[in-house]
Amino acid sequence: MLPAQAQAPAAGPGLRVRHTAVRDFPRIREICHACYPAAKPWSPGTLMQHLEIFARGQLVVVDAATDRVVGSASSLVVHWSDYGTGHTWNQITGDGTFRTHDSTGTTLYGADVIVDPAAQGRGVGKLLYAARRQVAADLNLSRIRAMARLQGYHLVADRMTPAEYAAGIAEGRWTDPTVSFQVKQGFRLLKVASGYMSDDDRSQGHAVVIEWLNPAYDAQLG
């Protein structure tokens, strides 16, 4: 369950949010493989590192009746000034180990969100993003930032730049499978970065920095 001081977002039909547990590792790996067949899924050892380093930032959505995981989100806290917009996913996550987590930082970095394809359309992603916002609020973090892959860019790469594609998403002229959803979750697009995931054919390595600002952030407490 979420910590007592953290109020969980309203769950979708038959769903609930809780923190990741060791028993969830096999399902998280299954969902990783389903979402990214060509990529190596999180290893049990790496998932354990995430819990040991920052358990509060590791979240799952489960079927309320069976406790079966249908989605997960992984996060860590960083000083954004240490990285800026030129970082790669491996750099800011410590090659996925989260050893770069710094509890004195003020930015919650969203390293990963995955949803079981069979659970698409049930509001799993919305619950995960709402739970992340709650973590940021509870820890008095100033913002959430992440790098969102421009997943649909490969379809238009022959006629526009990544920046033009991202601008069209922000202005509502077209949609992107990943970024448009995040805009609906209250994120704004800051800047396009290249070379983020160079082995991703769909985005061709291009991503956009997204940001959600915590309206309750108190700098004096931070």
Least confident of 35-39, 43-47, 59-63, 165-169: 35-39
Q: Minimal CA–CA distance to 29: which of 112, 125, 152?
A: 112
For residue 113, report the phi and psi dihedrals to the nearest 5 degrees. -140, 130
Q: Using alpha carbons only, what angle is made at residue 146 by residues 141 and 147, rounded to the nearest 5 degrees?
A: 165
How far is the C-alpha of 210 from the C-alpha of 191, rounded, in Å? 8
Q: Is the pLDDT of residue 70 over 80?
A: yes
Mean pLDDT of 22-42: 93
What is the pLDDT confidence band of residue 10, given thresholds at 50, 70 and 90? very low
- Does residue 135 carry a pLDDT above 80? yes
Domains defined for the chain, CATH in brackets: 13-141 (3.40.630.30), 147-214 (no CATH)
Residue 2 has pLDDT above 80, yes or no: no
> What pLDDT band is residue 194 in, cutting at 50, 70 and 90?
confident
DSSP code for 79: -
Residues whose CB is less than 8 angstroms from the CB of residue 173 and which lie 6 or more positions away in sequence, other chains included = none
Q: Quick one: pLDDT at residue 57?
A: 98
128/65 Cα distance (integer angstroms): 18
Quick one: what percent of the chain has pLDDT higher than 70?
92
The pLDDT of residue 13 is above 80 = no
Tell me the whole-structure pTM to 2 decimals.
Answer: 0.88
Give the pLDDT of residue 12.
59
pLDDT confidence bin for 110, thresholds 50/70/90? very high
Phi, psi of 147 (to 5 degrees): -110, 115
Identify the pLDDT of residue 179: 95
Residue 5 confidence class, pLDDT cut points 50, 70, 90: very low
Q: Phi-psi region for residue 108, left (φ > 0), alpha (ψ -120 to 50) or beta?
A: beta
Q: CA torsion angle for 222, 106, 98, 90 (degrees, to 10)?
A: -160
